[in-house]
Chain A
Amino acid sequence: MIKPVGVIMELENGMVKDANMGMITLARQKDTILYALTMDGPAGAMKEKLSAFGISNIIEIKLAEDLRHNPDVRAKAVMEVVKKFNLSAVFGLSTARGKDLLPRIAALLGSPLVMDCFHVDLEKNMAETSRYSGKTLARIKVTGPVPVFGIRPNAKEPVREQASAGIIQFDAGSIVSKQLRVVKTSETGKGSKISLAEAEVIISGGRGMKNKENFILLSQCAEKLNAAVGASRVAVDSGWVPYAMQVGQTGEKVSPKVYIACGISGSIQHFAGMKTSGMVIAVNLDETAAIMSNCDYYAVADALEIIPELTKILGKS
């Protein structure tokens, strides 16, 4: 039987984020027909890109202009689309926005939900995620109508498959929220410009960074690497960087291709947040730090000397 599956697109500055392509690849399974759902922009602009990854239909959901950013309205609109197109499952990214949207959709639909999945098997209704803050992997069986899956960004390498996406307009302009209103959206200027959850490269600092000012060295290097800047709990609790930058058990869980740990000892709680990284490079003066025996490359050195050198040669190359 053909399963119509909805994949919610996350956009940034009007563009479909790259992380969506891995999610689409994961959703593309035996007997599925994929519907991309967009609430943030004209489907025409993304038709070519989405067709190349096997999307059959793009549903352009038109929300009332002043309610476009309201998570309650967005969740209700997705619910309407699920009903109208008889979708059998919904995928979305397990990003900060996804964490504010996908549970709302699952709660409205009375559906099972697994967040932060790195694999989903639609035939067996099985999702793989982490539990105990990354200390274990878990296979979770979902039962019930229209399961919702939050997909960890970078969990799957995007694979192309050519299709020709049709465009369907869906008017959701009458959906309102009586209970929740978005007063404003502001940029605090805090935190990394590139989202930690989606970055391909993360450069993170810990106790060895010694102070707030030294984190600028990481930002300068990150700019050259197109990387996000993260931090350990020590750096956050010392007030050097905001909470939003924390990687670990009580911070972001990340899976970049490369994680560069600078002056981070590598506590069990820190590992919980970054152990799914592709490659870990540790720079630490303390040869006995836990991270040095649990990484791919290590340098017994002062990150405050190595990182500026790296920035310098990146600038030249």
Chain B
Amino acid sequence: MQIFVCVKHVPDSAVHIHIIDNHHIDENIGFLINPYDEHAVTEAVRIRDAHPGSEVIAVCLGKQDAEKTLRSAMAMGADRGILIQSEKYHDSIETALALKTAIEHDGSPVLIFTGKESIDDQGMQTQFRMGALFDFPVATNVVRLEILSDKALVDTEFSGGVVNTYEMTLPCIIGAGRGLNTPKYPTFPDIMKSKKKPVQTLLFSDLKIQTPAARMEVVELIPHLQKRQPRALTGNAVETAQKILHILKHEAKVL
């Protein structure tokens, strides 16, 4: 079966973000595969290995540099990659259309993985947009996945330790959560092997996607500055605890 994994090239979580011209960021920083997508790739590879004859195809919409993220996915075990190259920013609606078109061009998916969200846009919706376009069921923040003959059983995690188990028909779309697995970081031989794996490049403009009626457009980015003025709490443990209690009661008024 064909298993597709949608991956995104995002700024390294450890870098500082600098805003230029009010609504773009300085991209002269490290970019990496979106952390949740690592769980998606890991799971896709596990399912492939359990179903002989399957293949894992990583798909990415991004600039030319995003090929690095496809190489990371291949170093983690994906068989090949598709880069939908575009120099522009695309919202989740256009992204889902582009991913769907590229996946359909390539073959017939049985499973499509994404991360539950990207750490840059935090839109939390591309998987659902694809679901509506393909008419496939979707589950997000998936922490356990089991593939049965013609359906998938998934556990999705909610707050407070609540887990819902959904049964979905195949094909389906899985938004990977952090609890799904522990990604195995590639070894040097894995990385060398990934360099020889094929990447097909498509141009976004060649996909002939009609501009959707709905749109989300970033009109302004504002640095999220900290304005806190730290004040010291001194004294022994009892005194410090009493001071905290006083602050909670009289300043924060949460007691």
Residues of A whose CB lies within 8 Å of any CB of B are 69, 72, 95-97, 99-100, 103-104, 106-108, 110-116, 126, 129-145, 150, 177-197, 200-201, 225, 242-244, 246, 249-252, 257-258, 260, 267-269, 271-272, 275, 278-283, 292-302, 305-307, 309-310, 312-314, 317
What are the 8 A-B residue pairs with the smallest beta carbon separation, nearest first? Answer: A144-B214, A191-B161, A309-B241, A179-B137, A107-B132, A103-B128, A103-B125, A96-B158
Beyond A132-B25, A186-B163, A272-B13, 19 additional contacts (C-beta under 8 Å) are A95-B159, A96-B162, A103-B129, A110-B132, A112-B93, A135-B16, A138-B218, A139-B218, A143-B217, A180-B167, A181-B166, A184-B164, A186-B165, A191-B161, A244-B157, A252-B159, A299-B232, A299-B240, A306-B240
The total of Cβ contacts below 8 Å across the A-B interface reads 280
Q: Decide: A180 and B141 in contact? CB cutoff 8 A.
A: no
Could you say which residues of chain B place their CB within 8 Å of the CB of A268?
13-14, 16
Within 8 Å by CB of A310, from B124, B131, B244, lies B244
CA distance in complex: A133, B25 (Å): 13
- The B110-132 residues at the A interface (CB cut-off 8 A) are 119-125, 127-129, 131-132
| B48 at interface by CB-CB < 8 Å | no
Q: Given the complex, which residues of A lie within 8 Å of B231, measured CB to CB? A: 296-298
Bitwise, B16-57 to A at CB < 8 A (1) or not (0) is 110100000100000000011000000000000000000000
- Asked if B189 CB lies within 8 Å of chain A CBs, one says no
B-side residues, CB < 8 A to A, are 11, 13-14, 16-17, 19, 25, 35-36, 92-93, 119-125, 127-129, 131-132, 136-141, 143, 153, 156-169, 172, 177-179, 212-224, 226, 228-234, 237-238, 240-245, 247-248, 251-252, 254-255
- Residue in A187, A250, A258, A302 whose beta carbon sits within 8 Å of that of B119 in the complex: A250
| B161, B172, B213: residue with the most chain A Cβ atoms closer than 10 Å | B161
